[in-house]
Amino acid sequence: MWVRSRTGFLVALSLPIFKLSKRSVSMFRAMTLPVSEQRTVVEIFVEGRRVVAREGETLAAALLNSDVVPFRYTPVSGKPRAPLCLMGVCFDCLVEVDGAQNVQSCMVRVEAGMQVKIPRGARRAGDVK
């Protein structure tokens, strides 16, 4: 089931990995830009589900705007994690992008058609991209 979030993005509600916060909206909100500065809308896919993003924004921003949380589960305890620093320091935003594991989503820009997976457990040995 798809619903439109307060920020205007489509949000998938049917997958168990997508949890809405208790406030039902992310603490992050997209800024409203003047028409002349508005960006092209692109589609990415998270665990096979369509998510709408704005071209040029970071993948972490796109996922947060779409209320996709958590971003990963730790290898040792299996605890959920989500971005903390949004500047490439904490490594809590790691996701799999187009088959490449442990990608810092706060450091990559959204590209149309990106396939994003939520890591669960340790990186698969031998899968280096």
Give least dist CB 107 to ligand FES, A. 6
Is 23 strand, coil or helix? Answer: coil
User: Is 25 or 85 the residue whose CB approaches ligand FES more closely?
Assistant: 85
Cis peptide before 119 (omega within 30 of 0): no
Give least dist CB 94 to ligand FES, A. 8
Q: What is the dihedral of CA 25, 120, 48, 88, to 10 degrees?
A: 60
User: Is 10 or 74 the residue whose CB approaches ligand FES more closely?
Assistant: 74
Give the whole-angstrom CA distance, residue 127 versus residue 95: 14
User: Is 84 or 100 the residue whose CB approaches ligand FES more closely?
Assistant: 84
The site for ligand FES (CB under 6 A) is made up of 60, 83-86, 88-93, 104, 106
Give least dist CB 82 to ligand FES, A. 8
Q: Give, as one character, the DSSP assignment of residue 62.
A: H
Note whether 93 and 105 are within 8 A (CB). yes
Give the whole-angstrom CA distance, residue 56 versus residue 60: 12
User: Is 12 or 106 the residue whose CB approaches ligand FES more closely?
Assistant: 106
Give least dist CB 102 to ligand FES, A. 11
